[in-house]
Amino acid sequence: MTHFSGFPARMQFTPVPNLFFSSLLPRIDDIVELKVTLHIFRAVYSKKGNIRFVTRDELLNDRSLVAGLRDGDKTTSEVLGEALKMAVKRGTLIHLVLSRDGAPEDVYFLNTEADRKIVDKIKDGEMALTGLKAGGQSQPDVDIAPPPDVFTLYEQNVGMLTPMIAEELREAEKIYPGDWIREAIAEAVKLNKRSWRYIERILERWLAEGKGDGTYRGDIKKSSGKLSQQGQGQIFRR
């Protein structure tokens, strides 16, 4: 074992989301996948701008990463490729194959809400990356994970998930579509009204008056004992 001399007084730091430690790290059981994931955090967050990604070639040229990618007789490229596939399958990364001067280029984004929207725009041709364009050969491991469940979303954006709030969310899932709950949370956060009561009022208003996307209360098939409808869309609590 090579001895580490310790951290200096002044040094740079890499931001890592708290959710990485609570939800992702316990699931990673491959040391190479973990190394690659952490290096990608560093590579992505060291870049400037709203659109941040890393390419496979960038990773292969990262000396500190490559130094730790040793696995028997496999080449560095093979070891890296396997780790990237695991990270994509796990949902940590989003993989796109774009074209650079007619040659395919592997591009990796972190699987964040903002980057998922960017990836969708790239796929639809609404956005292009400098020097890269859609048209590379598609890969079977291109996978965008589904959005987080409402419990995780609430905890990430609103506050601590107490047993009482968790029960409220479970009841809400029986009444409203999951997309409604996620959008209500997003609207509350946008208005800096981070409370379950405010989110609940948004949902009740949409159920009573209809939602701006053309979905109305009559389209909701779910029901529970918590809310009932009577007369002209009147809502009352039992």
Nearest alpha-carbon partner for 92 in 28, 151, 155, 156: 28
* Residue-wise pLDDT tens digits, 11-64: 888 888 888 998 899 999 999 999 999 999 999 988 887 888 999 999 999 998
Alpha-carbon separation of residue 70 from 31, 32, 56, 84 (angstroms) = 11, 9, 17, 15
How much is the average pLDDT of 140-145?
A: 40
Listed in sequence order, the residues at least 6 apart from 68 whose beta carbon sits closer than 8 Å to its beta carbon are: 32, 35
Q: Are strands 227-230 and 103-110 parallel, antiparallel or unpaired?
A: unpaired
138: number of Cβ within 10 Å: 10
With the C-alpha atoms ordered 231, 212, 114, 158, is the resulting torsion angle positive or negative? negative
Q: Is the pLDDT of residue 139 over 50?
A: no
Question: Does 150-237 carry CATH code 2.130.10?
Answer: no
- Which part of the chain is CATH 1.10.10.10? 18-134
Report whether pLDDT(7) > 60: yes
Helices 163-175, 178-190: axis angle to 10 degrees equals 130
Cα dihedral 146, 182, 113, 139, rounded to 10, equals 20
Backbone phi, psi, residue 123, to 5° = -65, -35
Q: Which segment of 80-84, 172-176, 217-221 scores lowest on mean pLDDT?
A: 217-221
The two three-digit tokens of residue 100, written as one number: 């650079």
What percent of the chain has a predicted confidence (pLDDT) above 70? Answer: 81
pLDDT at 136 over 60: no
Q: Are 13 and 52 in contact (CB under 8 A)?
A: no
Statement: 18-134 belongs to CATH 1.10.260.40: no
Calculate what percentage of the chain has a pLDDT beyond 90. 34
Among 27, 66, 24, smallest CA distance to 43 is for: 66
